[in-house]
Chain A
Amino acid sequence: MQKIGPEDWKQMFELLDTALDLPPPERNTWIDSLGDDYERLKPALRELLAKHASRDTDTFLRDIPEFTSLTGINTSPLSMPEPGNHVGPYRLVRELGRGGMGSVWLAERADGAFKRSVALKLPHVTWIGGLAERMARERDILATLEHPNIARLYDAGVDDFGRPFMAMEFVAGQTIDNYCSQHELTVEQILQLILQVARAVAHAHARLVVHRDLKPSNILVTDDGSVRLLDFGVAKLLENQPGEQTQFAVRAFTPEYAAPEQIKGEPIGTATDVYSLGVVSYRLLTGMLPYEVKQTGVGQLERAITEVDAAPASSIAANPLRGRRLRGDIDAILNRALKKDPAQRYATADAFALDIEHHLLGRPIQARPDSAWYRFSKFIGRNRIATAAAAAVLIAILGGASIALWQAREAREHAARAVIERDIARRAAAREEAVRMYLTRMFRSSVAQGGSGPTTAKAMLDRSAQRVLQEYRDDPYLAGKVVETLADLYGALEDVAGQAPLLEGYLKQAGPEADPETVALAQQKLAHAELSRGNIQRAAELLRPAEEFWNRDRNRFAEQRLEGLVVKARILRAQGDLAGSIATNERAIAERVALSGENHSETAILYNSLGIALMNANRLQEATAAYRKALSIHDALGTGEDVPALVMRANVGTLSYRVGRIADAERELKQAFEAQRALSGDSAAVAASMGQYGSLQTALGRAAQAIPILEQATLMAEKFTARGSALHVQNCTFLAEALAASGDAQRAARVVDATLAQARKQFGDGHFFTHRVRLAQAKLAAAQKPNAQSLAALAEVTTKLRSAGPVAQLALAQALLVQGETLTRLRRPSEALPLLEEAVFLREQVMWDQSWELAEARARLAEAQLAAGHAGAQPLLQRSLATLESQLGPHHPQTARARSSLDR
C-alpha cells in the first residue's frame, strides 16, 4: 500500500467515518463520487476498506499475547535504583537527592569512553504517554541553552528498558542561600550573584524556555563564586503532561517561590520567572520571605501570595544599616518584580537584570517613577565631581544678563530636542512592547490550545510564523521587527525549514515603505538558509543587495556586514572559488577581531570556516593552523570539549592524516570521535571521523581492523545524512579500499561499483566526488589486471582530475602514481617516469617531509628509474625506505616492498 503520512491519516479517518457508515455495496460508488482533492487517497482508502471487509483483521489485536513467565515483572527496572546499577551508558555512584518527580544520582560513564562525572536525573515512572519522546524533544531545546551559569545538559536518552534519563553537568557547590549566609556577603556581592542568576534565566527566556521552579535549592554557587542554575526545563518537561497545558500543576512547584498566577492556575510566562527571581532576591537580601508565613498551612501562604503585597525589603532587614542600603532602588526593583499582575512586572529576566546592573553602576533604573529629581540625583551621584565643577563655573558666570538669555535659549532648544528624543524613545518602546506582546500572546495561545501534544518553542514559533504576516499586513514596519525576532528564534533552533518560508513571505510582502534595514537583514538570513538547503545560486542573488546596503554605512552596520561576510565566504566556497572564500574569511577575521577581540566565539567560527576553505584548497599546513587557532579560542572560552570544538579536533586529525602525520592523526581522530560519541551519541560528524580513522587503519596495514569500523561508519553516514551523500560515498570508498587491501577483491569491486553508481546519480558524472570513486575503481582494476585496458581507465581519470583544480591535487597525485606504477610493472618504465615525477612534486607541495605517502611516491619513482637503467636511483630508494620504516614500521607491506626493490 502507498505510504500515508500523519496529515493524510487525519483525513483518512474522516473518510473512514463516513465510509464505514455506508452499507458495503455502496462504498465504491461513494469513493468514485469524491472530489479531485481526494484522488490521491482513493487507492489507499479502497485498500483499507477491503482489509476491513476481509476476515483477516477480525482476530487482529483481539487479545494481548499470553506470556508464560513473569520474570520481567518480577525484577522490574522500576525497583529503586541502587549504586552500581547501569542506566544507559552510565553507572550510578551515589544518590544526590530525591524529590517527588524522581531522583538525581552522581554517575559516571560505565564504558570508560569518557571520564566525566555527571548528575543523572531519573524520573520515578518509566514513561507516561510518550514521556521518553517528549524528553527527546525537550533535549533538543535544552541543547540550545548554552550559558556559563546554566548547568549543562550533556546527554539524554532512553536505556534498554525504556527508562528515560538525563545527564547534566555535575556541580560541586552549595545552594545560594547557604552560600550567602556562610560568607556574610554584602548587598553588592549578593546583587552580583542575583545578576548572574537573572542573566542565566534571561538566556533561557530569549529561547522561550521558562524555568517555572526558581528557588534557592535550584541555584548552586561554586567555590569560586560562580552561579549554576539547575534543572532548567526539566521541571517544565516533567510537568508537561497531557491536559496540563491550561492549568499549572499546583503540587509541582515550591509554593514559597511561586508566582500568584501559578497558585491560581493561570497561564504562565517569562514574567512568572521574574516573580520567583524577586522572591529569591528578597530572601537573600533580607533573610525573609516577602510574606509572613504562619504555621497554619499552605492555604494561608497561597492567599498571602495572591493577595498580600510584600512589605518593602528595607523595612524588613534585620540590620538598620542594610535597611538604608536597600531603600530606594532595591525596594523599587523588588516591588516591580513582585507585582501580582504579571503585566506590571518586568517582562523578562533580562529587564530585571538590566535594572540591577544599572543600580550597581549608579545609573537610573527602569522601576523608579520617572521623576526629574530622581534622574538628576542619579546624575549628580554618578558625576559628583564633574557636576560640582560645572556648578562652580555656573555660579561664577551668573553675573551677566546675557548669560541668562543664553541660558533661556539653550533651555528652549533643549526642550525641543527633548521632545523629539522622547518621541523617538516612545516609538521605540512601543515597538519593543508590540513585539513582546505579540510573542507573549502567541506563546500563551499555543500553551492554551495544547491538546495535540506538548507546547514546544518550535510549535509556538510555527504558529506565530503562520500568522504574523497576515496580522501585521497594515504595519510593515512592525511586521519586519517581529519577523526578525522569529527568524532569530528559528536560527537558534537551527530550523532552516521553518525559517525560509517566513523570510520568503516577508520579502514577498515588503513594499517600498518597508524598513530597508529589515529587508536587507531578511535577505541575508534567507541567503544563509538557502545555502544550507543547497541553493547556492539563489543564496548569492539574495546576499548581493544586502551587502550593498550594509556598505552604505559601514560603521553603523558593522555587525550585520560581518555576518554577511561569513555567509559570502561560504557561498564562494560552495561555488568553488576557494581563493575568494579564503580572502573573504581573512577579511572577516580582521574585522571581527577589531570589533570584538580575539577570544570571541564568532572569531572561532570564522577561523573554522577559513580552515575548511584552506583544506579544500589543499593548503593543509595553513588549514591546520587555522583550526588550531579556533580551538585555542574555544579552550579560552571554556567550550573546548563541546561538540563544535570536537568536530574541529576531528578535522585537525583528518588534516594530519592527509599531510602524513599518521601518529598524530590516529590519536586525534580516535579521541575526537570517541569524545563526540560519548557526548552526543552517533551523528554524521562521528561517521566522518570514524571513516577517516578506518581509512587510516587501512593505510597502516591493518585492513582487517579497518573493515568493521568502516562498515559501521558507512551505516552511520547513511542513517544521519543519506544514501549517496558525500559522506556516505566517501566512507563507502574507504570501505572498498580496506576490502581490497585485505585481499577481498570481489567484494571490494561490488562496493565500489555500487558507490560509483550512487555518486553519478547524486553529483553527476563530472563532479570531483564521482571522479574520486572512479579513481578507486580504476585502482582496483589495475591491481587485479595490470593491462592496457586498466591503464586506459586510469589515464581517463587522470585527465578528469587534472581539470578539477586544486581540490583534486592529492587525488591526481594518486592517479598518476598508480598509473606510473602500472606502467613500470608492464615494463614501460620510461613512460612511467614523467608521471611519477609529477606525483612526487604534487605530494611535496602539500605533505610534510616525513610523510609515508611522499616516501611511497619517491620509492615508485626510484623503482621506475632503476628499471629504466638510470643512475642515482639507489640513494632515493634508500631514503624512501628509511622514511617508510620509521613511519609505518619494518613489517608494513609498503616497507617490505621498498626493501625488496632495493635488494633486487
Chain B
Amino acid sequence: MSVTASAAPSKLKSFVSNQQFILFLVLLGMIGIFTAFNRIFFSVGVAGNVLADWGPLVLVALAETFVIVSGGIDLSVGSVCTLSGVVGAFAIRALTESGMAPYLTLFIGALVCIGVGCIAGVINTLLINYAKLVPFIATLVTLGAAAGLALVFTGGGPIAGGPSQAIQLSVPWLGPISTPIIIVIVICFICWAFLHKSRFGRHTYSLGSNPFATRAAGISIAKQTAKIYILSGALAGAAGMFFYLRLGSGAPSSGLGLELYAIAAVVIGGASLSGGSGRITGTVLGALILTTVTSGLIIVGVDPNWKQVVVAILIAAAVTIQGLRRSEGKAS
C-alpha cells in the first residue's frame, strides 16, 4: 500500500506561509508605524523598555506554550509569578539582613522563586491527576489561592529590603539587553530545544494531539502532565524573580492579569487552544509584539487602553489565519 503524499511545497513557499514569518513581518510593520509617528521609537532606549516588559511575559508565555501544546491551560501562571516573587523577596530580605553577599542572595532568591513555582505546579498536577479536575478549574483554584496568599503574606505592600544590586542588574549593558534578559534568552533557547527536539517535547505534542493514541503508545499521561505543569510553575517562578529585579521589591500586584497576556502571546504565536500545535518561536514573537504595542502606544502618546483593542485584533487575526491554513491543508 502506498501513502501518496502530494508533492512537498517549495522551501520558499513554506517559509513565506509560515506563521512565524508572518509574525516577524507584523513586528517589523509595527516598529515601522510607531517609528513613523515618533522617531524616538527606533532607539536602544525603547528597545530596552520593550525587552524589560518582554522578559517576564515571555517566561510565563513559554510556560503556557508547553501547557497549551499538551491540550491543557494554566490560568495560575500570573498569580504564581506574583506569589513566588513575594516569597523570594522575603527570602532575599532575610538573607540580606543576615549579611550574605548580594549576588549570592539574589541567586538563592531566584531558586526560592523557582521552588515556589514548582510547588504550585505540583499542586496543579495533584488537582488534575488525582482530584480529576479539568486543567481550567484546577489552575483557576491555584490562581485564587496563590493571589490570596501573596496578599496575606505582604499585607498588600511591596516587600523590599534586598540588595541595591537587584535594580542595577536590570540595567541594559549590551545595547538594550540586560543580564536578566540574557538569561531569559537562554531559557527561550532551552525551551525551544526541549519542546521541538526532545522526547519530552514530542510527548507533549502527542498528548495534546491525541491523548488516546499517546496512552496506547505506552506513555504515562499522568507523568507527562506532572512534568508539564511543574515546568510551567518553575517558569512562572522565574518570571517572579524577573519582576523582583525590575522593581527592587516583591510587589503583590506584579503578575496581575499576566496569564491572559501569556495566553494571548501563545495564540498569536500560532498555537491552537485545542492542543497539538504551537512553536516556541511563535510565542517569543507573540510576546515581543505585545510588549512592542505597549511601549509603542505610550511613545506615540495614544491612550494605553487601546492596547486591549490592538491585542484583540491580533488574536482575531492569528486565529483566522490558523483557520484558513487548516482548511487549505484539508483541501490539498
The finding on whether chains A and B are genuine partners in a shared complex, rather than unrelated, reads: no
